[in-house]
Amino acid sequence: MRSSRRGGRAAAMTVDVGEEEQLARMIAAAIGDYGRIDVLFNNALMTNPAFAARDADFLNLEPEMFYATMRVNVMGGVLASKLAIPHMLSQGGGSIIFTSSGSSLGGDVTA
């Protein structure tokens, strides 16, 4: 955990958000470091360029690529929320934020 000159504290962890066990350790670490969890910001995104290149042709969709992307982009936030909500409820509340891409508004066209 790091502290700033202004009194704020932050901690960083490397977590595979598609793995519930790693998410459970992340939530437990936040509770251990801060005593509570007030905000969960789900902001993970599969950015592997090799996966993106394989996603350019829908007619040649590879299901394993799709599942891997959904595991991180969707299921990771769902699992993190599932694990954080009981703590938030027991402390009287909290906030869960999901970030989405602006490309969801217009789609994507590839050459």
Q: Cα(14)–Cα(2) distance, rounded to whole angstroms? A: 15
Selected residue with higher pLDDT from 89 and 3: 89
Q: Is the Cα torsion angle 74, 79, 84, 90 positive or negative in sign?
A: positive
Q: Cα(103)–Cα(89) distance, rounded to whole angstroms? A: 33
Q: Cα(23)–Cα(27) distance, rounded to whole angstroms? A: 6
Fold of 14-100: Rossmann fold (3.40.50)
CB 11 within 8 A of CB 3: no
Give the chain's end-to-end CA distance (angstroms, integer): 45
Selected residue with higher pLDDT from 53 and 76: 76
φ and ψ of 97, to 5 deg: -120, 130
- Pair of tokens at residue 75: 């299921």
Q: Where are the beta strands (DSSP E) in 2-111?
A: 2-3, 9-10, 39-42, 95-98
Quick check: pTM over 0.85? no
Model confidence at 45, pLDDT cuts 50, 70, 90, reads: confident
